């Protein structure tokens, strides 16, 4: 049966749990090995039960697991990059591939398009 103790609200949660294996147990129950000690201690301190000064001190594993599953732990921290796409780019940027294609198409004709220098033409 679960037993509860009332503790002084100011009592450091750290003192209550730091020496126990509870932190590892929390990681195991929640399947969250990424959660650090400080994060868990903060979650323990801010848990609804803890705010009412109530902690289970039972040794029954399932009761501890039930308590653990009420802890407000933070979401996994694994962000993705989200590049911003410009959906209305300026015309110069939009037609840049076409301009490049045009230049490439003109390249074989480029030597013929070169102007003949004036003195040479006169000769």
Partner 1 sequence: MKKAGSEAWSTAFRRLAMAVIALCLTTGASYMFAIVVQSDGFDWLDIIRIALMAIASFWLAWGGCIALFGILFPTEERAKSGDFPEGRTAILLPIYNEATGPVYARLEAIMKSVATLPAADRFDFFVLSDTTKDDVGEAEQRAYEQLLVRQNAGGRLFYRRREQNIGRKAGNIADFLTTSGGAYEYMLVLDADSLMDGKTILEMVRRMEADPRLGLLQSLPQIIGLSTLFGRLLQFATGLYGPYFARGLAAVQGEEGTFWGHNALIRTRAFAAACGMAPLTGKPPFGGHILSHDTVEAALLARDGWKVRLDPDLTGSYEEAPANMVDYAKRDRRWCQGNLQHSRILAAPRFRFWSRISILQGVFAYLASPIWCVFLLASLAAPLVAPPPVYFDGHSPFPVFPHPETTTALALLFGLVALLILPKLLLVARALLGGNSADFGGPARLLISFVLEILLTSILAPIHMMFHCRSVFQVLTGADSGWPTADRDDGSLPISAAFSATWWMSIAGAGAIAFSHSYAPEMFYWLLPVALPLVAAPLLVWMTASVMLGKVTKKLGLFQVPTESAPVEVAEDMRLALAEKAAA
**Contact residues for partner 1, defined by CB under 8 A:** 29-32, 48-49, 66, 68-89, 94
**110 burial class (0-12, 13-18, 19+ CB within 10 angstroms)?**
exposed
Which lies closer to partner 1 via its Cβ, residue 18 or residue 30?
Answer: 30
Q: How far is the CB of 88 from partner 1 (least distance, A)?
A: 5
**DSSP state, residue 33:** T
For residues 4 and 56, is the Cβ–Cβ distance under 8 A? yes
Which lies closer to partner 1 via its Cβ, residue 66 or residue 106?
Answer: 66
Distance of alpha carbon 13 from alpha carbon 42, whole angstroms? 8
Q: How far is the CB of 7 from partner 1 (least distance, A)?
A: 19
Distance of alpha carbon 17 from alpha carbon 50, whole angstroms? 12
Which lies closer to partner 1 via its Cβ, residue 16 or residue 43?
Answer: 43
Which lies closer to partner 1 via its Cβ, residue 16 or residue 67?
Answer: 67
- Dihedrals φ, ψ of 48, to 5°? -55, -40
């Amino acid at each position: 049966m679960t037993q509860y103790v009332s503790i002084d609200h100011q009592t450091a949660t750290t003192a209550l749990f730091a020496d126990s294996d509870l932190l590892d147990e929390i990681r195991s129950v929640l399947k969250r090995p990424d959660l650090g000690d400080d994060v868990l201690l903060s979650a323990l301190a801010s848990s609804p039960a803890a705010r009412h000064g109530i902690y289970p001190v039972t040794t029954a594993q399932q009761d501890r697991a039930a308590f653990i599953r009420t802890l407000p732990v933070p979401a996994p921290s694994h962000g993705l990059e989200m590049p911003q796409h410009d959906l209305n780019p300026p015309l110069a940027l939009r037609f840049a591939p076409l301009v490049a294609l045009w230049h490439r198409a003109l390249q074989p004709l480029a030597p013929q398009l070169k102007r003949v220098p004036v003195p040479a033409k006169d000769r």
